[in-house]
Amino acid sequence: MSDATEISEIDVSDPDCLFCRVVSGQVAAEIVAEGEHVIAFRDVNPVAPLHVLVIPREHHPDIGALAAAEPESLVELVRLAGRIAQEQSGGEFRLVANTGAAAGQSVFHAHGHVLGGRAMTWPPG
């Protein structure tokens, strides 16, 4: 089997992943913006007036894996986060990426939380 065949046969989604099902349209979400490699939608349990998740269209378990496999998608994720924050909260925002269960990651598909619209405290806790 050639490298091209192997690459084309890689599954870029996980049928058990909630965010992969959002990307495919199987799970409804309030989409706020899209890019070539990423999609952004409102969090169903917001913790700030602006709480949007930006995710890659392809499945990667966390932000580090995304950076290693598709750095261009990570750059697009950060750019889209900034654009959404500019449009919806005057450009001031916090971008959070939890990696691992102990860090608070509950959906193991890389994503960033765009938080804004209120003062953010430090440390975040």
Residue ranges and CATH numbers for the domains of the chain are 3-116 (3.30.428.10)
Torsion of CA 42, 63, 57, 8, to 10 degrees: -170
pLDDT digits (tens, 9 = 90+) for 54-102: 999 999 999 999 999 999 999 999 999 999 999 999 999 999 999 999 9
Reply yes or no on whether the pLDDT at 31 is more than 90.
yes
Which pLDDT band, with edges at 50, 70 and 90, does 124 fall under? confident
State yes or no: is 111 an active-site residue.
yes
The one catalytic residue in 37, 59, 60, 111 is 111
Euclidean distance between CA atoms 55 and 23, whole angstroms? 9
Owner of token pair 């995710």: 55
Residue 70: the pLDDT is: 96
pLDDT digits (tens, 9 = 90+) for 103-120: 999 999 999 999 999 999
- The whole model's pTM is what? 0.89
Which pLDDT band, with edges at 50, 70 and 90, does 10 fall under? very low
Helices (H), the chain: 3-8, 18-24, 63-69, 71-89
Q: Which residue has the higher pLDDT, 8 or 57?
A: 57
Euclidean distance between CA atoms 123 and 125, whole angstroms? 6
- Structure token pair of residue 96: 């959070």
115 to 10, 65, 83, 90, 109: CA distances (angstroms)? 33, 22, 13, 12, 18
Secondary structure of 14-43 in the HEC alphabet?
CCCCHHHHHHHCCCCCCEEEECCCEEEEEC
